[in-house]
Amino acid sequence: MHRHARQHAQLHAETRTRERRHRVAHEAARLMAEGGMRDFHQAKLKAAERLGILDDASLPRNREIEDALREYQRLFQRDNAGALRLRREAAMRALEFFAGFDARLVGAVLDGTADAHSPVALHLYSDDADAPSRFLDQHGIPAEPRTRRLRLDRERTIDAPVWVFSAEDLSFDLTVLPHDVLRQAPLSSVDEKPMRRASAAQLRALLASDEIERYERDAG
């Protein structure tokens, strides 16, 4: 009898924790979608504080927040589809422009969670870290230098040069990485797994499948 009561109490506690995680994930997603927050961890802590949920077990994983963000945008921010499409098309042109650096699209524009504030984020690969900067100079594109720390794997991190510039009324964010990093993507800050990346050919296929999906939706 006691064992059953204990199991029941444990099940009840797990259900409550799951419900809290769900609430925090959706509140964090709302803060990101409406407040323009970009940092999953910051959004998670702010959401938990707003909901008065203080135990670590009730904090969702970043991937849960990303799923909730995608759902929120689909339900409440349908106009985001236009912003995403615009950025993916601009990313296609940027990948072709930076083809000499084996450019790859990463981040929200690829994952589908981009909104009207999201930059087009690319990874460029070169063993000469200054080569992309010279390339931008040659084409008369003024860019602002920054640095970003990325985890290459569980043991290694890198402080990579970043160049930020505007074109076509959009922001572009270029991270320059050594050529051997092309073999395996750096770890995502969302779920600690290798980042999703897309080449020009892969993005072209994604744009084509988006087009078909949109056509079918409009036809239906």
Say yes or no: 44 and 131 in one domain: no
Angstrom distances, CA of residue 43 to CA of 9, 27, 34, 65, 194: 31, 8, 11, 9, 22
Q: Is residue 90 located within the same domain as residue 127?
A: yes
| Total count of domains within the chain | 2
C-alpha of 176 from chain center: 17
Convert the pLDDT of each residue in 124-181 to its tens digit.
999 999 999 999 999 999 999 999 999 999 899 999 999 999 998 999 999 999 999 9
Global confidence as pTM:
0.73
Are 17 and 50 found together in one domain? yes
Q: Which residue has the tokens 């984020």?
A: 121
**DSSP-assigned beta bridge partners for residue 148:** 160
Domain with 46 in it: 2-76
Residues 6 or more apart in contact with residue 28 via CB below 8 angstroms: 40, 43, 44, 46, 47, 60, 65, 68
Query: Are both 65 and 133 inside the same structural domain?
Result: no
Mean pLDDT to the nearest integer, 18-40: 84
- Domain shared by 66 and 90, yes or no: no
Among 52, 76, 100, where does a domain finish?
Answer: 76
